[in-house]
Structure 1
Amino acid sequence: MKTNSTVALTIALLSLMSLAGTASAFLGYSLGREALKGVTQPDISPTKKLSNNNPESTDKELKILLTEAELLKQAEDIINGKVIPEPIAESENPENPENKDEEGAISSEQGEEETSAEKSSDLSDLGEILPIKDSDRGVTLAIVEGKQEGSSLVLKVDLKNESEDSVRFLYSFLDVRDDQGRALSAITDGLPGELPANGKNFSGTIKIPTALLEDAKELSLTLTDYPDRGLELNLAKIPVKR
């Protein structure tokens, strides 16, 4: 009896579960159908849309197409000279960028050469008035040559000691000024730190940047011995001609 009642209870539960599942599916379907009412599928046919919106364009495109016989007839007419084909317009040849670059480089080089020539003409080589010199206590300082090298005015100078004692110089104390009293930076090269008393010439150079000489008309140099400063060599009125 217990076995029969258990089987009956199991069957009853399965039946209830089946009914509940069926009812749930039906309810979901009904709710979904109600939610989608009024929704329609859009017209997604591009061919139909184009044909409806612009029928004239389609007709024009179809009219452009020619049959094989018409194409052969046109070709035959052109060969026989009955029809003169329209010439193809030749596009203007653009400037060759390489030639343009070359012309730009040439003009740039010419400009640099002209600028360099102008700078060279601004500064006199001092050939007409050299040497410019001064002596004190048997020591002589002379400018024997002046020229432009690159961006500097280069003065070649000679030092000579005809006294009885050697003389020492510290060239960082060399004072270079223009006619307006402005101190100019200068670099010395080759001049001896100690000048022996043997009467021989010792040569060196004094370099002055030409950028500092744009407004200058004359230069002056002052050199004293070190550390005594007992003698003083002055070279004045060194012209910077234009």
Structure 2
Amino acid sequence: MKLTINPGVRTSLTLITIMLAIGGVTGLVGFIFGREALRGVSQPIVNPILSTSMGEGNRGRQSFLKEEDIIAQAKKLTGGDEINSPPKQEAPSPSPKPEAKNENEPEEALTLGEFPIVGEDQGIRFEVSSARTQGDELVLQVSLKNDSSQGVQFLYTFLEVTNDKGESLSALTNGLPTELPAGSDVATGTINISQALLRNAKAINLKLSNYPNQDVELHVPAIPVE
């Protein structure tokens, strides 16, 4: 019986044979080149206790340093029997602690000028009893009283605040009533003005008119703020 080989198998075997042959030749050539490149190269002596000055005649023989020589070299490198230690760092002196602020101490509140300063018209009294700085604001303590026989109304958007140069300033009112009946009790409140608006002003002026008739004009001039 004649054995027939499939042409595909024959081709595969041929390719494998060629690849093995090429691999063998490549490996042999690499070995030859590597051997030639390393010819004359020997492993260096890396043992620290062996002499580093061994010549060709002493190659293969090991010479050891004496214990006394090793100790002498160690002392020479360390500067004697004592091993050098890094200098001690002085501890920084503690900085003085800032004085603690008394929690019960009120925020900056400096009373200015001489008070009270009063403006009156037709039995209506507008009084500024004090001025103080609080934070970044000037706070005016004010009061209104109606001793006339008729009630009056106020709209505080009509409150005019000017400095001693006649420049208008914006202000906020707190606690003042919009209506004062005839013979009313004293009503108190505050007027707050940002200190950034005051700049170098030495005094400010207040003018308040009733609403809507505006026939009552209350002027409080020259309130010291410097």
Please tell me the TM-score bracket, short chain as reference.
0.5 to 0.7
1:203 to 180, 188, 210: 188
Distance 1:171 1:89 in 2: 76
Comparing both structures, which one devotes a greater share of its residues to helix? Answer: 1
Q: Does 1:158 find its partner at 2:143?
A: yes
Q: After TM superposition, list the pairs within 5 Å mapping 1:184-223 onto structure 2.
A: 184-223=169-208
Q: After TM superposition, list the pairs within 5 Å mapping 1:1-242 onto structure 2.
A: 7=1, 9-10=2-3, 13=5, 20=14, 24=18, 27-29=21-23, 31-33=25-27, 36=30, 39-40=33-34, 48=44, 55=52, 65-66=70-71, 85=82, 88=85, 90-95=87-92, 99=94, 103=97, 106=98, 125-126=112-113, 129-241=114-226
Cα deviation code 1:141-200 (max 9, x no counterpart) = 011122222222211112111111100001122111212333222121221110111153
- Equivalent position SS for 1:48: coil
CA contact (8 A) 1:167 1:225 kept: yes
**Which amino acid in structure 1 is aligned with residue 44 of structure 2?**
K
Percent identity of equivalent pairs: 27
Q: 1:131: how far off? A: 1.4
Q: 1:93: how far off? A: 2.5
Q: Which runs of 5+ in 2 are unaligned?
A: 54-63, 102-106
Cα deviation code 1:6-30 (max 9, x no counterpart) = x2x317x59x95x957953663245
CA contact (8 A) 1:167 1:196 kept: yes
Distance 1:49 1:163 in 2: 118
Distance 1:25 1:143 in 2: 111
Q: Which runs of 5+ in 1 are unaligned?
A: 1-6, 75-82, 111-115
CA contact (8 A) 2:111 2:130 kept: no
Instruction: Quickly say closer, same or farther: Cα 1:145–1:39, change in 2 above 3 A.
Output: same
TM-score scaled by length of structure 2: 0.65
CA contact (8 A) 1:147 1:154 kept: yes
Distance 2:199 2:142 in 1: 23
**Which amino acid in structure 2 is aligned with residue 216 of structure 1?**
A
Report the count of equivalent residues: 194
TM-score scaled by length of structure 1: 0.61
Residue aligning to 2:57:
none
